[in-house]
Structure 1
């Protein structure tokens, strides 16, 4: 019933065949469903690549559709991918890019996309107990609703199918998020190939797939060290670093397990290819292991760091704002001592207890290093005076600009992959403090393999990391005379150069992006219009 209601109320893409064209207003389709497209009001979408949000009729060979999951950490890389695609190919080969989202995410996406990228809104379904108007995970009132939100996104299947059907010809490809598993079948039925994006590194993705397929015979005892099958010999992980989605995969009573079985299934591994926000110098060694879990012929395309690939062509909305004056504060610290400030941020998804926040602020103050800390909690207050060298910010922090600032010498991070990419691109070492999901694997990648970080330690049986541990590790990260800190900075400088080289002309990521489009175009006629049997 809920799925039917969502389909009947679909706000799909303007039907190009009936001539409807809009700039954020609905146009009526013959079946009664309305259609909404959002774009720049400045110009009509013409063959030269300029756009007003409504694709004109033309060959699907020149059209890529992108559908991100509705979470800021998932959306941003694909917004950058859309921008990079449009910039690299938009004028030379007349490639058209359409990004699909929901009305509540339109403003966020539109401000971060060039006008050459079309934007389409599908209605976000009503799905109690999810509050009305909540269309992104960062707007959830409590973490317990995350799974409910993921189930709600599955009801976008009908509107998305209508959108694909409304196009004059099947697009070149669909690039969609791992969590939107339904999109692979919808695309296949329309004769469209799906490239899956999961926001993880090849390293973490391959480990998760390998251990899900071949769990250790002894199980996942917390202290056990696991040699990951199919991976290079140096890849050994602790069982407690493996995400719950892998360790609890065999538990049919686990709600996340049921979601993955029912909603994701084999949609990931049956995709035509995998889009990775990483680059060859970091992840090339793990590509064969990752590709081995996909259908024969599927490839992993390493095209990151995507925010660097999109740099130079980002619209004004993507240029980071600084409402809290963080950069001015850093300017003052840079004048006194460059590289002295510790930047602290744990992203938007993890919940941190007040007790842990108390220990953290004590440790930061005791370290003696100036710090800039982005705190998500609106209710916590520091139990100690942080003084003029401590800055706690509860509003927006321009993270990429902060990390690139000469005053910043290190990053205390939850090791979300977007943050890892931004830190590496800025050449800053990390104090790895993972919280959830694959972040523990990212921390191992950062500290133990790439060598650009040190890891926080939680004592056995403890619920929080103590202030003494924070103080010790911050000093290790920031001490200019410490041998390990010097080595981390050398590796961070290498990673920065490698990241920038990857997206430069002729770099590995730039070439991968070009080859991805070329291969899709060369094989377009082999699959177009053949439905599920041809994809």
Structure 2
């Protein structure tokens, strides 16, 4: 939605296409104010009733959704200037080719993490796909000096579900053949990999142009719905009462659930650090940490993350290093304390901690290590200075989208799908 809004600001008309069975997932986005130039269009899969009711449903429905997409686009006047879709929609890439529409992919993850995905076609040519669950094969991520266990990062390519490996491989091949790659990052955050993606023939054999269009994050004031106003007011009151850059914000995203042992260690570490804190807690059982007193707030399952990170009292973000969280913290100048778990998170953590030196990585969730790491970051002028450099770079970054718009400016009526 952020990209759609920014394209509208550039003078485009945008049609936002989505599967009708995902309507509920768009409720928050559609409830926010947006330009009338953004048109929401639901695609109805004809064979939805016969689709499996599990994680494979979207894969099963893609051919049917592609047919409706082709019918819709054929009826549009003027025809769209291009299609922007995510990197795994290989089926839609074929539809765009059939209709003669340029197709660009939007990468919601870091360029460093996406580089591993672009390695999949070369792994297939070397007969290394699908990956075997029982083997610990490694993959070198180019330009950032990192080696990952292939089955942990490239889990879609495991031999557990060969059909899924084929689907994602098709998406990676079509990504390489696209008319351009839009990455939700900014150049100063990932300079080496962005340059490498343009010239490396293994990652980008067709030399598709690469556009750094991030950070694609909404304005902090636009993220809170009316049903959370009272909770937000309490949080802002707490932050307003704290000293500048003194508060630790803790959130491990929406997927990671902390068990009771981890939760007790985290709470103890926060208390030992001597810093006020806000913790968005998601647990895997009945246990809920209590006893924070006046030194902290413990929130259940929801927090206005952007509002908290943008507040001048926030000085540190203890995070799982999901890419949205990394983008938000870096673009707002907040150092991180990283505790990555899986998928792209270790790569993102390495990027901010080792390459940009804007944080520290936690080895364990033991309370004394948490307390010591908090003190280390809070007392480091170098880490704070590096975090502020990323913020200044992010403030300049939205202009990068102009390069992409200019490429399509030759069309008198810009219309993106």
- Judge same fold: TM > 0.5, yes or no: yes
C-alpha separation in 2, matches of 1:475 and 1:497: 25
Is 2:403 the partner of 1:515?
Answer: yes
Contact residue 333 and residue 340 of structure 1 kept, 8 A: no
Contact residue 225 and residue 237 of structure 1 kept, 8 A: no
**Stretch of structure 1 that moved more, 105-114 or 365-374:** 105-114
Structure number with the higher helix fraction is 2
Aligned residue for 2:279?
Answer: 373
Equivalent residue in structure 2 for 1:299, among 209, 227, 231: 209
Equivalent residue in structure 1 for 2:118, among 206, 209, 224: 209
Aligned residue for 1:499?
Answer: 394
Contact residue 333 and residue 390 of structure 2 kept, 8 A: yes
C-alpha separation in 2, matches of 1:386 and 1:379: 19
C-alpha separation in 2, matches of 1:474 and 1:127: 52
C-alpha separation in 2, matches of 1:318 and 1:382: 26
Aligned residue for 2:241?
Answer: 335
Matches within 5 A, 1:2-17: none
Matches within 5 A, 1:282-361: 282-291=189-198, 292=200, 293-307=203-217, 311=219, 318=223, 322-323=228-229, 325-326=231-232, 328-361=234-267
Once the two structures are TM-superposed, the CA of residue 243 in structure 1 deviates from its matched residue by: 6.5
C-alpha separation in 2, matches of 1:152 and 1:365: 50
Contact residue 324 and residue 395 of structure 1 kept, 8 A: no
C-alpha separation in 2, matches of 1:250 and 1:99: 32
**What do residues 168-212 of structure 1 show as CA deviations (whole Å, max 9, x unaligned)?**
343101111123322111111111111111212222222443487
Once the two structures are TM-superposed, the CA of residue 473 in structure 1 deviates from its matched residue by: 2.2
Equivalent residue in structure 2 for 1:107, among 11, 17, 27: 27
Aligned residue for 1:170?
Answer: 79
Once the two structures are TM-superposed, the CA of residue 81 in structure 1 deviates from its matched residue by: 0.6
Contact residue 157 and residue 183 of structure 1 kept, 8 A: yes
Aligned residue for 1:246?
Answer: 154
State the superposition RMSD in angstroms: 3.4
Q: Structure 1: 5+ residue runs without aligned partners? A: 1-78, 131-144, 459-464, 504-509, 526-535
Q: Give the 3 Å change call, closer, same or farther, for CA 324–85 of structure 1 in structure 2.
A: same
Q: Give the 3 Å change call, closer, same or farther, for CA 340–164 of structure 1 in structure 2.
A: same
Aligned residue for 1:117?
Answer: 38
Aligned residue for 1:82?
Answer: 4
- What is the SS of the residue equivalent to 2:272? helix
Aligned residue for 1:390?
Answer: 296
C-alpha separation in 1, matches of 2:83 and 2:373: 44
Q: Give the 3 Å change call, closer, same or farther, for CA 440–151 of structure 1 in structure 2.
A: farther
Q: Give the 3 Å change call, closer, same or farther, for CA 380–129 of structure 1 in structure 2.
A: farther
Contact residue 258 and residue 284 of structure 2 kept, 8 A: no
- What is the SS of the residue equivalent to 2:294? coil
Equivalent residue in structure 1 for 2:335, among 429, 432, 453: 429
- What is the SS of the residue equivalent to 2:173? coil
Once the two structures are TM-superposed, the CA of residue 227 in structure 1 deviates from its matched residue by: 5.7
- What is the SS of the residue equivalent to 1:239? strand
Q: Structure 2: 5+ residue runs without aligned partners? A: none
Aligned residues: 397
**Stretch of structure 1 that moved more, 263-272 or 336-345:** 263-272
- What is the SS of the residue equivalent to 1:282? coil
Contact residue 413 and residue 433 of structure 1 kept, 8 A: yes
Aligned residue for 1:507?
Answer: none
C-alpha separation in 2, matches of 1:170 and 1:269: 24
Is 2:66 the partner of 1:157?
Answer: yes
Q: Give the 3 Å change call, closer, same or farther, for CA 330–283 of structure 1 in structure 2.
A: same
Contact residue 206 and residue 289 of structure 1 kept, 8 A: no
TM-score, with normalisation over the residues of structure 2? 0.83
Contact residue 154 and residue 180 of structure 1 kept, 8 A: no
- What is the SS of the residue equivalent to 2:88? coil
Bigger relative contact order (CA 8 A; separation at least 6): 2
C-alpha separation in 1, matches of 2:239 and 2:78: 56
Equivalent residue in structure 1 for 2:315, among 409, 414, 426: 409
Matches within 5 A, 1:226-237: 228-229=141-142, 231=143, 235-237=144-146
Aligned residue for 1:532?
Answer: none
Q: Give the 3 Å change call, closer, same or farther, for CA 473–221 of structure 1 in structure 2.
A: farther
Once the two structures are TM-superposed, the CA of residue 474 in structure 1 deviates from its matched residue by: 2.5
- What is the SS of the residue equivalent to 2:229? coil
Contact residue 152 and residue 343 of structure 2 kept, 8 A: yes
Once the two structures are TM-superposed, the CA of residue 469 in structure 1 deviates from its matched residue by: 2.8
**Stretch of structure 1 that moved more, 186-195 or 515-524:** 515-524
Equivalent residue in structure 2 for 1:468, among 368, 372, 387: 368
- What is the SS of the residue equivalent to 2:210? strand
Higher alpha-carbon Rg: 1
Aligned residue for 1:60?
Answer: none
C-alpha separation in 2, matches of 1:255 and 1:390: 48
Q: Give the 3 Å change call, closer, same or farther, for CA 412–274 of structure 1 in structure 2.
A: same
Equivalent residue in structure 2 for 1:196, among 105, 117, 121: 105
